[in-house]
Amino acid sequence: MKLTKQLAAGLTTAILITGLIILAAIQSRNRSAADTAEQCLEQMFQAMKAGDVAGYLACFSGELRERLVSTAQDQTREKFAQYLKDLARPIKGRAVMQDKIESSGPDTIRLVVDRVYDGRPWEYQAYRLRREAGSWKIYEIEPPVLHDPPIPYGTPAYAGAEKSDEAEQSKPSPP
């Protein structure tokens, strides 16, 4: 009788733990799904920065995904991860150009991202995305268009900022 109760308690515990693991996996999958096109692009850039090959490839669909998977398989996973990091490293900032969003239905959109670089021309790059099974995926990337920044990266945000920085640096340091 005692053994049966212990067996039942152990089985109940195992079922509860399995249920919690499944629930956590479902919630994790839902968190990683791109609910908006902008979230899809953010996930792609974060995966590039981290060298997360699987996360990066998960942002794409169709023929583009097939080409990227083939490219990743032609290299070692480590080399492709390093390639992604190298692509992301010089990007100092990025923004979706809200005035350039084009929608061609509820499940297809074109977003233009302005990528900011230090010491070189900035880039506009358009991404075409579609919603597949409730999650946004990139299916086409247009070639980048270079443009000069309106204000060079690193320019002080307000007048006199350089002078106040210089004044701070010229103050004698405490003994």
CATH of the domain at 107: 3.10.450.50
Whether 28 has a pLDDT exceeding 50, the answer reads: no
Mean pLDDT (whole number) for 123-142: 96
Q: How confident is the model at residue 104 (pLDDT cuts 50, 70, 90)?
A: confident
What is the C-alpha separation between 172 and 69, in angstroms, rounded? 57
- Domain of residue 65 covers 35-154
- Residue 65's SS3 state is helix
Domain count, the chain: 1
Whether 29 has a pLDDT exceeding 50, the answer reads: no
Task: Specify the pTM.
Answer: 0.68
Mean pLDDT (whole number) for 129-141: 96
Whether 93 has a pLDDT exceeding 70, the answer reads: yes
Give residue 163's pLDDT: 54
Whether 125 has a pLDDT exceeding 70, the answer reads: yes
Structure tokens at 19: 């249920």
End-to-end CA distance of the chain: 79
Please indicate, yes or no, if residue 167 is contained in any of the structural domains: no
Angle at 51 between CA 123 and CA 116, to 5 degrees: 20
Please indicate, yes or no, if residue 1 is contained in any of the structural domains: no
